[in-house]
Amino acid sequence: MGFIENRPMFYAMTMTMTKDDDRPDVPDLVVSRAVLPFHLPDLGVRGRLVRLGPLADALLSRRPMAPEVAALTGKAMALVASLAAMMKFEGSFSLQTKGDGPVSMLLADCTDKGALRGYARVAEGAPADLAGLSDAELLGQGYLAFTLDPRGEMDRHQGIVTLAGPDLAAMAEHYFATSEQMHCLVRLACARTSAGWRAAALMLQRVAATGGRDADRAWDEDLDEAPGLEPWREAAALAATVTETELLDSAVTPEVVLYRLFNQTTIRVDDYRVLAYGCRCSRGRLAGILDSFRPDELDEMTEGDSVVLTCEFCNYDFKFARATLRRD
């Protein structure tokens, strides 16, 4: 029987508004114990349990959104935080969907330092009432892309698959099965609670028996035919019993959730990873973008005596006096 230490859950955070000449007013919010990596060595599985805590509410409350759109965005952010936590890189990891559903575009990204953000674009003409629509119905037909964008000289890596599955968790599993040939289980949850929006993720990945993604590939590229799948199936069956309440309930620590799910096997937990409010917009960066436009293009963008650019992530308007922008 496995055993893990039960450590109390807490959030290290401030909710003051960060302000300087180059940045908008945004919450200075850090969740110090947001991502708990763990390992089930007897079953050959690694995983992460993610809870965004008050960070979910801070990110999802920046702009008015239908509850269904907010919940989908929260799940996307929890998923990308889980995926970024498994990467050994400096840079950012992002999720993007584009489809013909009411949510025409969904974006979420997380840096190696845990800076997290997300955004959903609702299509023009989308119905005002989205109640009861599944993730698949909100997104429609289209594609899902995961992108690793490292700093330095490393190449950017992107994988793209069609949107397939009833919800975002199933779509992520489809990506790993088809694009990465990897056994993966994903459970996502996001809901508005009495404390505000909360979002969480549980992710399991099978570790190849002899190391490396292709180590077991002696079969006909069919994951269901891979050798030695019994331990993975056991772990996946146990993880599949987790409920949305267990994922989102801050009164139950992540260690307790893992013990409830996997107490018949050994559980090893690693150090928590931090997540933080992570919009990276800045006045200086946008000024550089405006400098690339021709004067006549800037004139067309001018309303009154200013050009206004809105950060889609934090919903902040940056105003630039037209007289201060290029005229030659």
pLDDT digits 0-9 by tens, 154-187: 778 899 999 999 999 999 999 999 988 899 999 9
User: Burial letters for 36-48: b for 16+ Cβ neighbours within 10 Å, e otherwise?
Assistant: bbbbbeebbbbbb
Q: Is residue 279 exposed (0-12), middle (13-18) or buried (19+ Cβ within 10 Å)?
A: buried
For the chain, which residues make up each domain, given as ranges? 17-280, 285-324
Q: Is residue 68 exposed (0-12), middle (13-18) or buried (19+ Cβ within 10 Å)?
A: buried
User: For residues 290 and 272, which has the higher predicted lDDT (pLDDT)?
Assistant: 272
CATH 3.55.30.10 corresponds to the domain 17-280:
yes
- Position 216, amino acid: D
The mean pLDDT value of the chain amounts to 84
Which pTM does this prediction carry? 0.81
What pLDDT, in 10s, does the model give residues 3-54? 444 343 333 433 333 344 455 566 678 899 999 999 999 999 999 999 999 9
Tell me the two tokens of residue 131: 């109640």
- Position 17, amino acid: M
Among 10-24, 133-147, 246-260, whose mean pLDDT is lowest?
Answer: 10-24
28 dihedral zone (left: phi>0; alpha: psi -120 to 50; beta):
beta
Q: Is residue 280 exposed (0-12), middle (13-18) or buried (19+ Cβ within 10 Å)?
A: middle
- What residues have CB less than 8 Å from 286, skipping those under 6 apart? 309, 318, 320
